[in-house]
Amino acid sequence: MAFEKKLTDEEFIRNIINKQLEPYHLTYDDLKNLPHKPSDADKEDKTVYYEDWFQKCEFKTFDEFIAWKKYYYEQYKLWQPKRKWRRHDVENCFNWHNLSFGLKYGYDFDEHRKRNDEIDMFKIVFGKEK
Going from N- to C-terminal start, the domains of the chain cover: 9-30+52-126
Residue ranges for the chain with pLDDT beneath 50: 1
Q: Are 81 and 5 in contact (CB under 8 A)?
A: yes
Q: What pLDDT is attached to residue 48? A: 63
Torsion of CA 62, 64, 66, 67, to 10 degrees: 160
pLDDT score of 1: 44
**Dihedral sign, Cα of residue 60, residue 63, residue 64, residue 66:** positive
The model's pTM is 0.81
Q: Are the C-beta atoms of residues 65 and 105 closer than 8 Å to each other?
A: yes
